[in-house]
Amino acid sequence: MLTPEEEDQLLVDAIALAMDVRDDLATAHRTVRHLDRGRLEQLCCALAAMVDPNLPLPVMAWWRALAPKEAA
């Protein structure tokens, strides 16, 4: 069980990781690589809880719109 302060820190860390995934993937990779298993599980759960399952998949997978278009 986490204290309210630990929960707040977990959310801050999850948000920071999400921002790094979006803006600096190398930094996000280093962060994940250095986490212990318990902290990684906590971050995965926090990030999953932040997803709105009521949104359409194309909205949730916003990064797909940024991918280079393949030549037909």
Specify whether the CB–CB gap between 26 and 17 falls below 8 A: no
2-39 pLDDT, tens per residue? 999 999 999 999 999 999 998 999 999 999 999 999 99
The C-alpha atoms of residue 53 and residue 39 are separated, in whole angstroms, by 24
The count of domains in the chain is 1
In a domain, 17, yes or no: yes
In a domain, 43, yes or no: yes
Tell me the HSE value of 30 on the side-chain side, using a 13 A CA sphere: 6
32-67 pLDDT, tens per residue? 999 999 999 999 999 999 999 999 998 988 878 887
pLDDT confidence tier of residue 72, bands split at 50, 70 and 90: low
In a domain, 72, yes or no: no
pLDDT of res. 30: 97
In a domain, 58, yes or no: yes
In a domain, 71, yes or no: no
Domain hosting 24: range is 4-66
